[in-house]
Amino acid sequence: MGLFDKLFGKKQQQETLDQGLQKTREGFFSKITKAIAGKSTVDEEVLDNLEEALVSADVGIETTVEIINRIEKRVAKDKYLNTNELNSILKQEVEDILVASPSDTSYENYELPAGHKPHVILVVGVNGVGKTTTIGKLAHNFSKAGKSVLLGAADTFRAAAVDQLTIWSERTGVPIVKKEMGSDPASVAYDTVISGVAKDVDVIIIDTAGRLHNKAYLMDELTKIKRVVQKVIPEAPHEVMLVLDGSTGQNALEQAKHFTAATDVTALTITKLDGTAKGGVVLAIAHQFKIPVKFIGVGEKATDLLVFDKHQFVEGLFAPVA
């Protein structure tokens, strides 16, 4: 088994995911177990208890209602269901909720979409969600998968962001384009793409400012970055990735609302799932915004940033609690 298999193999990824979702799984299942305790059939009381359990697990009201409605239809169709069957049905319905959009492009094994080069990813998200760290981990993993990477430090309003990305650049051996603090973010993005094209790199990842207090300004800034990038590559950015902190639960939903209103978000990365019992928010975000989750963070190591696989995620949620 080579290094690539160890980093990105299905079995290894499932084990990492199972460990990372332990807190969510323990909370999720304790609530569901209580919801059906002492019941032999799936009746209205069981469904009410299950609804309460899902909401309290940060699955969100809208997504919970959708799941309960689906289960009610199954109960009506099959006439009789016992509670032993409920876990299997719930597992199936949760996975169906996570169906990706038809335009979804997978990064399985950190492969890049075909048909263009370089692949430009614009990363957005508020400060503190793990945005810059996520970019560093992406750079590391794309590099390990044999891809050439270039970073762009366009979060020029926060010195720590540039410094942090520079550390990741040095740690991973991935080059970075940066300017002094306070520089025009769009000029950094433009120079990054110009450099990436000249060097014929496979993927360009551009960090952006993590501010949300002024949505109009945020929209203007992101629009400007897109415009200058498109002067070099008309169809870029190929991905606008929103990074959200899964441990903040419903607050992550609010951030998603603001950013999807400000720009055309095409992908989600949910971080810090290993330190929270609120992993159910992944279901809420994916379902409510119909934006595919591409990566999830379940630990500190770069290899703990996993390519999102809905089947693996559901298996991780429903794995037996140790």
Per-residue DSSP letter, 202: S
Q: What is the DSSP string of 263-300?
A: S---EEEEE-GGG-S-TTHHHHHHHHH---EEEEE-SS
CA–CA gap between residue 84 and residue 87 (Å, rounded): 7
The single residue listed with the structure tokens 């945005």 is 131
Instruction: Compute how many other C-beta atoms are within 10 angstroms of the C-beta atom of residue 121.
Output: 24
Compute the mean pLDDT over every residue in the chain, rounded to the nearest whole number: 85
User: What confidence tens digit (pLDDT) does each residue in 54-96 have?
Assistant: 888 788 888 999 999 988 888 887 766 676 778 788 888 888 8
**In CATH, 10-97 is 1.20.120.140:** yes
Question: pLDDT digit of tens for each residue in the chain (322 aa)?
Answer: 344 444 556 777 778 887 878 887 777 777 777 777 777 778 888 888 888 888 887 888 889 999 999 888 888 877 666 767 787 888 888 888 886 555 556 788 899 988 899 999 999 998 889 899 999 999 999 999 999 999 999 998 887 889 999 999 999 999 999 998 889 999 999 999 999 999 999 999 999 987 665 566 777 888 899 999 999 999 999 999 999 998 887 788 888 888 888 788 999 999 988 877 777 888 888 888 888 899 999 888 888 899 988 888 888 887 766 5
- Give yes or no for a contact between 164 and 206, defined as CB atoms under 8 angstroms apart: no
Fold agreement between 10-97 and 115-309 = no
The CATH number that domain 115-309 falls under is 3.40.50.300
User: Cα 251 to chain center, whole Å?
Assistant: 15
98-115 as b/e: b if 16+ CB within 10 A: bebeeeebebeebebeee
Q: Which residue has the tokens 């959708």?
A: 66
The pTM for the full model equals 0.89
Sequence-separated contacts (24+) of 66-74 with Cβ below 8 Å: 66/97, 66/287, 67/93, 67/94, 67/97, 70/96, 71/42, 71/47, 72/47
Q: Which two tokens stand for residue 164?
A: 């942090």
First to last CA, the chain: 28
Q: Could you tell me the residue ranges of all domains in the chain?
A: 10-97, 115-309
